[in-house]
Chain A
Amino acid sequence: GAVVSQHPSWVICKSGTSVKIECRSLDFQATTMFWYRQFPKQSLMLMATSNEGSKATYEQGVEKDKFLINHASLTLSTLTVTSAHPEDSSFYICSAREGSNYGYTFGSGTRLTVV
């Protein structure tokens, strides 16, 4: 079945630094990729939708200059958390959709801790 690889699985960074998270579709071309954030004991909140070769569409309340998303190819999307602060500590999960396939495949998630 479809596989999405996400890494790193966890990262600790200092406040003020930037962190890049990668999401790769290994055996299919991802028409659209989605980035979610999940705080403890809460559900997944959609941050943005990215389509290959175009700018990401951000959900209301998500700062596009802070959460930079690049979807340069049909198999790779990256999320960069710029100038990270402790309140950005969360579980970030990517998801990929393949063309007309209704299914969505999720990455394994990245646990970000900002100290």
Chain B
Amino acid sequence: QKEVEQNSGPLSVPEGAIASLNCTYSDRVSQSFFWYRQYSGKSPELIMSIYSNGDKEDGRFTAQLNKASQYVSLLIRDSQPSDSATYLCAVRMDSSYKLIFGSGTRLLVRP
């Protein structure tokens, strides 16, 4: 079983819609979770981090964490074509501070 799992997609949504990206993780003791966006050929850039159960909102982005279900998600409201990218879920393995990435979900926002 992979430590961090994501649906590879592509997830295709029309411009203005809500895009929902999901991620599950296997290590129950993980406490820190991150969403990164990566454009083709570029390095990942941090969108949001979340550490507590519940929702965390930042502009058009909302991260949701459910530790009991070992599930973290990212919602993108009012999706724009410029949001088209691969979204990587990352989990910090607290015993070593290693950041482990999922395989990423490719998002396509259609104009």
Tell me which residues across on chain B come within 8 A of A95, comparing CB atoms: 99
Q: How far is the CA of A6 from the CA of B92 in the complex (A)?
A: 22
**Is the C-beta of A44 less than 8 angstroms from some C-beta in chain B?**
yes
Q: Tally B residues with Cβ within 8 Å of A.
A: 21
Are B44 and A44 within 8 A (Cβ)?
yes
Tell me which residues across on chain A come within 8 A of B42, comparing CB atoms: 108-109
Q: How far is the CA of A56 from the CA of B51 in the complex (A)?
A: 27
Are A109 and B43 within 8 A (Cβ)?
yes
How far, in Å, is A100 (CB) from chain B's closest CB?
10
**Is the C-beta of A43 less than 8 angstroms from some C-beta in chain B?**
yes
How far, in Å, is B2 (CB) from chain A's closest CB?
10
Tell me which residues across on chain A come within 8 A of B51, comparing CB atoms: 102
Are B103 and A106 within 8 A (Cβ)?
no
Are B96 and A49 within 8 A (Cβ)?
yes
How far, in Å, is A89 (CB) from chain B's closest CB?
14
